[in-house]
Amino acid sequence: DTAVSQTPKYLVTQMGNDKSIKCEQNLGHDTMYWYKQDSKKFLKIMFSYNNKELIINETVPNRFSPKSPDKAHLNLHINSLELGDSAVYFCASMMRGSPHEQYFGPGTRLTVT
């Protein structure tokens, strides 16, 4: 069983479109994250949810909106996609209060044309 899964794995879309990425974890963790990895492999945290509550919201355009329907799921919706949104987006999860060992999903490669 996959611990942290993401769908889709690849997403190609045009500028101006709206798209969503889904993440699910079956580890029983209570905290989930979204990261953006740019072409230089730099990892930037975007959001974090703990038990469906938003706890981290880094400087991210309002076009990005996370949603956590329950503590096992964290989705990312992106409105009005721009060329600069092209990147690999990773979901991760951990149990709050642990030494912050995070488990990562396989990533979603978003290409905006």
* 95: contact with another protein by CB under 8 A: no
The span from the CA of 19 to the CA of 27, in Å, is 26
Identify which range of 15-23, 44-52, 60-68, 75-83 contacts another protein by CB under 8 A: 44-52
* 56: contact with another protein by CB under 8 A: yes
Going by C-beta distance under 8 Å and a sequence separation of 6 or more, which residues neighbour residue 68? 32, 49, 52, 54, 74, 75
Give the binding site for another protein (CB under 8 A): 4, 31, 33, 40-43, 45, 48, 50, 55-56, 90, 92, 96, 99-107
